[in-house]
């Protein structure tokens, strides 16, 4: 059997307000459920968008869909416009995802600062970052979060240790190929890591001339039989300018008999299979700027 978990990273206010409803509609059309992970705190996108995505990808977006990837306001948040607190404006959209039967979890408090400055942040700053994100989640959904996935698949020893105290069922803080328990400073943590196993649309589109159809075909072919398959997407991309490409992607999964399961649905089975313990490393991956955490 082939199964896939769709991990939706929600990075911005705009992605929350418009991308969440778009993705809910597409997932409903294809009768699939996904796992949504929200950014709750300040939207400082204006400071970072040009760095989050590789230059080749932004150029490609400009050619195919000028100015549509992010709206003008998003590009200015945290620079000329003050950074809005996302959950104060988009709690309704977040609840909509849960009400539609999707899994919901934590992606970030301040996505941009974590992504850009992680290794320079103090333990106190990181502790507050986690606390603020978990509190916002609990305020919105009325119960503690059970799953979290970090911005840009980045983590370090401090984030893994801090997060481990929250008693999550799992976290997704790296790229890799199988579920595992991370070893940090000689100690095996209790929070299962569920890595993202497949390349993303924003990494592959335009790379060596790949079209959207090329990317969809490539990813369909990478889905493994009887193994963990995690595909990550962004409300700002697949729930925005590239929603048609994602629509085709979901249709292709159904045509190929690939079953969609949320992370939460998959985790009990992953845990029952007695996952290994491994230290995490870092590496660069094709099509993405900077490093990502990597399993073992
Ligand atoms: Zn993100």
pLDDT tens-digit map of 92-140: 999 999 999 999 999 999 998 998 899 999 999 999 999 999 999 999 9
Find, among 217, 183, 176, the residue nearest to 197 by Cα: 176
CA of 39 to the centre of ligand 1 (A): 8
CA of 138 to the centre of ligand 1 (A): 20
CA of 10 to the centre of ligand 1 (A): 6
Task: Kindly indicate the confidence band of residue 76, based on its pLDDT and cuts at 50, 70 and 90.
Answer: low
Asked whether the predicted pLDDT for residue 73 surpasses 80, the reply is: no
CA of 179 to the centre of ligand 1 (A): 20
With left for phi above 0 and alpha for psi between -120 and 50, is residue 180 left, alpha or beta?
A: beta
Domain that holds residue 153: 3-290
CA of 12 to the centre of ligand 1 (A): 8
CA of 250 to the centre of ligand 1 (A): 21
Find, among 202, 194, 197, the residue nearest to 173 by Cα: 194
**Mean pLDDT value across residues 249-276:** 98
Residue 174 lies in a domain: yes
CA of 233 to the centre of ligand 1 (A): 9
What pTM did the predictor assign? 0.92
CA of 31 to the centre of ligand 1 (A): 25
Residue 76 lies in a domain: yes
Residue 296 lies in a domain: no
Question: Which tens digits make up the pLDDT trace of 216-246?
Answer: 999 999 999 999 999 999 999 999 989 999 9
CA of 9 to the centre of ligand 1 (A): 5
What number of other Cβ atoms are within 10 A of residue 162's Cβ? Answer: 16
CA of 53 to the centre of ligand 1 (A): 11
C-alpha pair distances (Å), 61 with each of 15, 192, 201, 202: 16, 36, 12, 10
Strands 187-188 and 181-184, sheet pairing: antiparallel
Asked whether the predicted pLDDT for residue 62 surpasses 90, the reply is: no
Question: Which tens digits make up the pLDDT trace of 135-178?
Answer: 999 999 999 999 999 999 999 999 999 999 999 999 999 999 99
Asked whether the predicted pLDDT for residue 51 surpasses 60, the reply is: no
Residue 192 has a pLDDT of 98
What number of other Cβ atoms are within 10 A of residue 223's Cβ? Answer: 18
**Mean pLDDT value across residues 188-211:** 95
Task: Kindly indicate the confidence band of residue 33, based on its pLDDT and cuts at 50, 70 and 90.
Answer: very high
Give the CATH number, domain containing residue 209. 3.20.20.370
Share of the chain above pLDDT 70, in %: 89
CA of 153 to the centre of ligand 1 (A): 8
Residue 124 lies in a domain: yes
Residue 295 lies in a domain: no
**Mean pLDDT value across residues 41-46:** 87
Q: How many domains does the chain have?
A: 1
């Amino acid at each position: 059997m082939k199964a896939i978990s769709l991990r939706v990273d929600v990075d911005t206010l705009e992605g929350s307000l418009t991308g969440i409803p778009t993705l809910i509609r597409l997932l409903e059309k294809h009768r699939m459920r996904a796992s949504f992970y929200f950014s709750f705190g300040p939207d400082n996108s204006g400071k970072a968008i040009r760095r989050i995505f590789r230059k080749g990808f932004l150029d490609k977006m400009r050619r195919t869909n000028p100015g549509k990837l992010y709206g003008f306001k998003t590009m200015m948040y945290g620079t000329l416009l003050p950074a809005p607190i996302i959950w104060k404006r988009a709690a309704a959209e977040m609840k909509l995802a849960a009400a539609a039967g999707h899994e919901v979890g934590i992606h970030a408090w301040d996505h941009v600062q974590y992504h850009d400055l992680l290794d320079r942040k103090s333990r106190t700053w990181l502790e507050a970052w986690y606390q603020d994100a978990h509190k916002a989640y609990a305020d919105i959904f009325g119960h503690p979060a059970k799953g979290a996935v970090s911005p840009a698949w980045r983590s370090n020893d401090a984030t893994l240790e801090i997060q481990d105290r929250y008693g999550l069922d799992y976290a997704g803080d790296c790229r890799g190929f199988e579920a595992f328990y991370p070893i940090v400073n000689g100690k095996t943590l209790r929070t299962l890591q569920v890595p993202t196993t497949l390349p993303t649309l924003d990494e592959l589109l335009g790379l060596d001339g790949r079209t959207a159809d090329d990317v969809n075909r490539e990813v369909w072919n990478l889905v493994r039989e009887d193994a963990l398959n995690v595909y990550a997407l962004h409300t700002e991309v697949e729930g925005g300018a590239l929603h048609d490409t994602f629509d085709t992607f979901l249709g292709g999964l159904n045509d190929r008999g690939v079953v969609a399961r949320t992370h939460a649905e998959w985790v009990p089975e992953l845990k029952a299979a007695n996952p290994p313990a491994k230290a995490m490393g870092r590496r660069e991956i094709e099509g993405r700027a900077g490093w990502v955490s990597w399993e073992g």
